[in-house]
């Protein structure tokens, strides 16, 4: 047997090549929740996977994968698009942004909060209808340490690549657990009490630079983004493309759906057995009385933490119901279902049976969220 000696430099090089980009879904390829549909922003909505919308006031902008159907920059086939719904005057304490919260276990090697804090570099492609000064913000979990960085969109409706390098923070508390290690915001608008100067770490909860562009202030204004990469070090490298299977698995650590590709959560299939299109989860529940029967469902990917489950009828997408076959002589119907247990690995569906000794074959979809 021949042994090959591998030095530390080679190992480090391999490591950097396989996990350079700490952003998940930076090429905006995965859209499990919405399947490319346009959605209205509020504080609980995600556009594409892992990119959450922050909106102090709901319904002031919309989001859609590939909104406007423009040609992405070379090397990409998708982008996330954000469009203002009105000419809104932003209040002093209001914020509108797109954010990705990065798990602490994925940035522990930044060593932030210590004297050995490492610099990081953010690179991305942006296409905006309004020219001028925009902001990206880096923040810790407690939101008491902020770094505001500004960049300029020079040409309207033109893809431009931006690169921002910042020093690592030697102060503050930065989680290296499964909690939020780093908050990253692309600011669309921020009120006067939410902004400050750019270019340094501050003991404050900031969302933008003073004098920055307000996307929501102009009706129909657009902000498109793709190729988001955040990496350790002071140099931007080429985009870290990952195969689609790996990218999906990384997204599913935080959110999983059983709906087929191309169908958003809660879709109304309006069909009955055999459900050839929707391909729902199927469970067979049999009981000798009317008590609740429970069955375990395993996740495709182990979740970051105990997941929050939403059940949808496989027939009409009704939340909290399954489409249930009631056996010979019975009537198919939506039957209320519940989550009786949930963890990082699996969850249990429970259903009350309406007839003694009657088979209940239930069809449903579900979403599981363990988002930061």
| Domain-wise residue ranges, the chain | 8-252, 281-369
Q: How far is CA 310 from the centre of its chain?
A: 17
Looking at every residue in the chain, the average pLDDT score rounds to 91
Cα separation of 284 and 329, whole Å? 17
Per-residue pLDDT at 327 exceeds 90: no
Query: With contact defined as beta carbons under 8 Å apart, do 321 and 360 qualify?
Result: no
Cα separation of 193 and 244, whole Å? 41
DSSP class of residue 108?
G
Rg (CA), the chain: 23
Cα separation of 341 and 185, whole Å? 34
Query: With contact defined as beta carbons under 8 Å apart, do 322 and 351 qualify?
Result: yes
List residues bridging with 185 in a β-sheet: 99, 137
DSSP element (H, E) containing 10: helix 8-18
Query: With contact defined as beta carbons under 8 Å apart, do 337 and 321 qualify?
Result: yes
Other Cβ atoms closer than 10 A to 157: 14
Cα separation of 367 and 310, whole Å? 5
Tokens of 41: 């922003």
The mean per-residue pLDDT over the stretch 242-251 comes to 97
Q: How confident is the model at residue 289 (pLDDT cuts 50, 70, 90)?
A: low
Q: How many CA atoms lie within 13 A of 354 on its CB side?
A: 13
Q: Which CATH code of 3.40.50.300, 2.60.120.260, 3.40.640.10, 3.10.180.10 fits the domain covering 8-252?
A: 2.60.120.260
The mean per-residue pLDDT over the stretch 281-288 comes to 75
Mapped onto helix, strand or coil, the DSSP state of residue 46 is: strand
The mean per-residue pLDDT over the stretch 129-158 comes to 98
Instruction: Write the pLDDT tens digit of every residue in 192-243.
Output: 999 999 999 999 999 999 999 999 999 999 999 999 999 999 999 999 999 9
The pLDDT of residue 17 is 54
Cα separation of 154 and 163, whole Å? 14
Q: How confident is the model at residue 284 (pLDDT cuts 50, 70, 90)?
A: confident
pTM of the model: 0.93
């Amino acid at each position: 047997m021949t042994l090959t000696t591998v030095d530390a430099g080679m190992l480090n090089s391999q490591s950097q090549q396989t996990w350079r980009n700490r952003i998940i879904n930076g090429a905006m390829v995965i859209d499990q929740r919405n399947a490319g549909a346009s959605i209205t922003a509020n504080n609980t909505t995600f556009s594409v996977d892992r990119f959450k919308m922050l909106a102090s006031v709901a319904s002031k902008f919309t989001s859609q994968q590939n909104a406007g159907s423009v040609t992405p920059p070379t090397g990409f086939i998708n982008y996330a698009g954000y469009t203002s719904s009105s000419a809104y005057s932003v209040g002093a304490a209001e914020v509108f942004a797109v954010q990705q919260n990065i798990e602490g276990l994925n940035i522990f090697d930044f060593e932030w909060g210590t004297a050995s804090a490492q610099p990081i570099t953010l690179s991305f492609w942006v296409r905006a209808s309004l020219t001028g000064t925009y902001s990206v913000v880096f923040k810790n979990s407690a939101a008491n340490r902020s770094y505001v960085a500004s960049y300029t969109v020079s040409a309207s409706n033109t893809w431009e690549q931006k690169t921002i390098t910042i020093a690592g923070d030697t102060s503050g508390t930065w989680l290296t657990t499964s909690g939020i290690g780093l908050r990253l915001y692309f600011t669309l608008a921020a009120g006067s009490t939410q902004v400050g100067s750019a270019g340094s770490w501050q003991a404050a909860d900031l969302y933008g630079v003073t004098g920055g562009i307000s996307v929501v202030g102009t009706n129909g204004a657009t902000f498109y983004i793709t190729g988001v990469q955040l990496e350790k070090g002071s140099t931007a490298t080429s985009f870290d493309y990952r195969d689609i299977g790996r990218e999906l698995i990384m997204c599913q650590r935080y959110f999983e759906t059983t709906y087929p590709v191309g169908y958003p959560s809660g879709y109304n299939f309006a069909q009955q057995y055999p459900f050839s299109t929707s391909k729902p989860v199927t469970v067979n529940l049999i009981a000798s009385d009317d008590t609740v029967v429970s069955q375990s469902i395993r996740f495709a990917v182990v979740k970051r933490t105990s997941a929050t489950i939403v059940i949808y009828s496989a027939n009409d997408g009704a939340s909290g119901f399954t489409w249930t076959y009631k056996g010979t002589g019975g009537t198919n119907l939506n039957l209320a279902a519940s989550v009786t247990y949930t963890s990082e690995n699996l969850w249990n569906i429970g259903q009350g049976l309406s007839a003694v000794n009657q088979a209940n074959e239930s069809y449903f979809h579900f979403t599981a969220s363990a988002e930061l």
